Structure 1
């Protein structure tokens, strides 16, 4: 059987580096090209990720530029890319509409258009489950769309545009909060906040209640699903990705209590509803509370540079449930290997960064 050639757009990021490792270790491809504006040598890759990157082709590319996109999609010897995995796009919260329009919507549409033009077999778009209406009941693929972050808004706009691109064979994945080795913005800020409260020797309390849904999925399951749908899902298929744990704030806090030996709790509805009236100020206050102790802790442990931060954007501090039904993909033969977020999953994240002296040993 001839192995495929694959192109990973935004492949140096969190999901991308794990996908590279997955494809390399399982020897699934003939040729792998990773395109990103970030150099692997400056991206804080763990050893396994760095070893995998040594076996693939890296190309630095600006995916807002049509000329750069054309170059990224071109293979020599008359070959083509069979599968294109789109993990590119702005991932930082708190940016402007203009930034997300250019770096999510435009990038996705331009790359998908090029994919159709050169005749790739399948284009896999990794979107987000934040596109769904915020509610406690888990959203299925056909449920109401009401994106509650700007990233999700422009991801969904891009999803819709894919339908209009002639000749494009695409599949869309909508993961819940993704965690695992290399995570900096999923569960990671809560983990770092837990370390801060251990350092301060104080009780850690979050807004809202423990029942606020923060459904999760391990990055290895996301990578497995990306490959699974590339091989078999029909054109235009949409699948959610979420584990069986139905993770909420209480579950995350219980894990953090075990990892850091701290006490945790919640401010409850009265305080939280008052906070909602001036969420910007509350968010600034929380970040001010956490940022300096984190910096002090890192300096104390000899860490002078780290990509990790307890900073949380106002969008993520709102009372929005992320409840996702990830079972539909299982009907296609897919199986989750990580059924729920556990203490071990939290420790795996910490150990990934501690091995690079990016997270303090506490």
Structure 2
């Protein structure tokens, strides 16, 4: 039996990273694990399960946009190289200056990939995004037309293209749909916060656009499993060059499905503004975004105050880019047919979203009702 691989996890404190590190630790999958992040675990709202996992790995703080810092993070005392390098590191906030994305997505990823080539890593797994595809009425496959609908995705695609042309890089690119699960503060979580706000206001919650707008999903546990599965598949089959896989469950989640779960959790009436009103809003999206955020930030603050929650990283704030009429619609089946992977969370469920809320409540950052 082959020895367990050594693993370097870049951006390992974030939502995807913490879940992946915990998956490795709890299943005893790696000979050693080093986690790199600019954020300290002690300040990152890790729950008890994540904290326990991080006590069993080596953590190093590092700025991966800096080449000398990258070299230090890749260097091991015994002079050996990490077998697997997993790159979750990237700027994840929307509406940032383009220079931020150039530095914290493109330059960072290229620096790390070059170092992986230099160290002869057996595989480099790059987390991209499903937002790079053209928004059409059909599910995008890995070879579908690309047309990133936000600046962050533009830089993710730029990374994908650069890395595929990098000589000597053993590359797996994963493009997930909207990822949800324990610890996720973006993605579906702002919609859950909206649900709690409208429960507080005793009003109907209506989203822009229509019920059939695709917001395809994938559970974070399946993302963790897919990262590990594809890395092992790549190495054990002596692959070279690059391979790309989408990650999306079979639910074909749309806004109506999400609203049905919000209704089940909060007992509120839900609906949609429709195309005509939404297109009118679109004419002045900047002002509309400000109005929408103002309407939700104040009651959310009232809820937190009423439950004696002094600080919380959770917010109903939505960036302008997230209010656009762009579908996230992916075909996530190729990874199954090619590698034998299977999704353990094929459907978005009410219980899986309740689990997210319960975890925030345990951390003291979501009100207990």
Q: TM-score, normalised by structure 2?
A: 0.97
For 1:275, the equivalent position in structure 2 comes to 281
For 2:12, the equivalent position in structure 1 comes to 11
The reply on whether 1:353 has 2:354 as its aligned counterpart is no
Give the conservation status (yes or no) of the 8 Å contact 1:243–1:338. Answer: yes
The reply on whether 1:344 has 2:351 as its aligned counterpart is yes
CA–CA distance in structure 2, aligned partners of residues 64 and 4 of structure 1: 26
Q: Which runs of 4+ in 1 moved over 6 A?
A: none
For 2:253, the equivalent position in structure 1 comes to 247
The reply on whether 1:299 has 2:305 as its aligned counterpart is yes
CA–CA distance in structure 2, aligned partners of residues 62 and 157 of structure 1: 20
CA–CA distance in structure 2, aligned partners of residues 274 and 266 of structure 1: 14
Structure 2 unpaired stretches of 5+: none
Query: Any idea what SS the aligned residue of 1:173 has?
Result: strand
TM alignment of 1:121-270, pairs within 5 A: 121-233=122-234, 234=239, 235-270=241-276
Query: Any idea what SS the aligned residue of 1:347 has?
Result: helix
Which of 318, 321, 339 pairs up with 1:315?
321
CA–CA distance in structure 2, aligned partners of residues 167 and 325 of structure 1: 29
The reply on whether 1:41 has 2:48 as its aligned counterpart is no
Query: Any idea what SS the aligned residue of 2:242 has?
Result: coil
| Cα deviations by residue, 1:297-354 (Å, 9 ceiling, x for unpaired) | 0111011111111111111100001100000000110000001111011101101111
- CA-CA distance at 1:79 after TM superposition: 1.9
For 1:95, the equivalent position in structure 2 comes to 96
Query: Any idea what SS the aligned residue of 2:85 has?
Result: strand
CA–CA distance in structure 2, aligned partners of residues 272 and 298 of structure 1: 30
Give the conservation status (yes or no) of the 8 Å contact 1:135–1:322. Answer: no
CA–CA distance in structure 2, aligned partners of residues 206 and 247 of structure 1: 15
For 2:70, the equivalent position in structure 1 comes to 69
CA–CA distance in structure 2, aligned partners of residues 100 and 257 of structure 1: 36
- CA-CA distance at 1:227 after TM superposition: 0.3
For 1:105, the equivalent position in structure 2 comes to 106
Q: TM-score, normalised by structure 1?
A: 0.99
Structure 1 window deviating more from structure 2 (232-241 vs 308-317): it is: 232-241
- CA-CA distance at 1:78 after TM superposition: 2.4
| Cα deviations by residue, 1:37-90 (Å, 9 ceiling, x for unpaired) | 000000000111111001000100011111110000001112210000000010
- CA-CA distance at 1:270 after TM superposition: 1.2
CA–CA distance in structure 1, aligned partners of residues 151 and 163 of structure 2: 19
Structure 1 unpaired stretches of 5+: none
CA–CA distance in structure 1, aligned partners of residues 73 and 3 of structure 2: 22
Query: Any idea what SS the aligned residue of 2:115 has?
Result: helix
Size of the aligned set, in residue pairs, is 362
| Cα deviations by residue, 1:7-26 (Å, 9 ceiling, x for unpaired) | 11000000000001100011
